[in-house]
Amino acid sequence: MQIRTLIWSDVDSIAAAFAELGWPGKDAGLYRRYLDEQEAGERTVFVANLDSGFAGYVGVVWRSDYEPFRAAGIPEVQDFNVLPALGRRGIGTGLMDTAEDEVARRSPVIGLGCGLYADYGAARLLYVSRGYVPDGRGIAYGARTVAPGETIRIDDDAALMLTKRLH
């Protein structure tokens, strides 16, 4: 497995891999935006490749949209994906190791949001096994904490925000 930062020649192969899975929103435009943000120093995206090609990626946003992370200067892992057919081969672990190592150069703490429904089960188990704990603010929707009694839609924007001390 090779892990490196996202480059322009990755855009079409990553978009094609997710199109084949039928995952919406993972088109070439998304990865072009990530590259623009990476070049501006706002985001770093790490891509994992196996001999067979693209396997997964993870992004780190250096200034989180989630107010508690932003206020504390906590970088946030966003958009972590491993192709389902390549799961349980250490790709996710390698990507998270790389992201955490990069964040540790700038911050003692890393954060992320984990979705609430069943599709995020494997990710939740990975995060817990790596030492991530809830940030103590409850559920977030988008970039804000949900107020008691508030009704939200349980989709990819509903998350439990987690942090991990790196050093």
Residue 73 has pLDDT above 90, yes or no: yes
DSSP state, residue 42: S
Residue 39's domain comprises: 2-165
Q: In this predicted model, what pLDDT tens digit does every residue of 103-160 receive, in sequence order?
A: 999 999 999 999 999 989 989 999 999 999 999 999 999 999 999 999 999 999 999 9
CATH code of 38's domain: 3.40.630.30
Distance CA 86, CA 34 (A): 23
Task: State pTM to two decimals.
Answer: 0.94
Q: Sign of the CA dihedral 3, 80, 111, 144?
A: positive
Strand order in the sheet with 158-165: 2-5, 43-50, 53-61, 76-82, 109-115, 158-165, 133-141, 144-145
Q: In this predicted model, what pLDDT tens digit does every residue of 18-69 receive, in sequence order?
A: 999 999 899 999 999 999 999 999 999 999 999 879 999 999 999 999 999 9
Task: Tell me how many domains the chain contains.
Answer: 1
Q: Report helix, strand or coil for 61.
A: strand
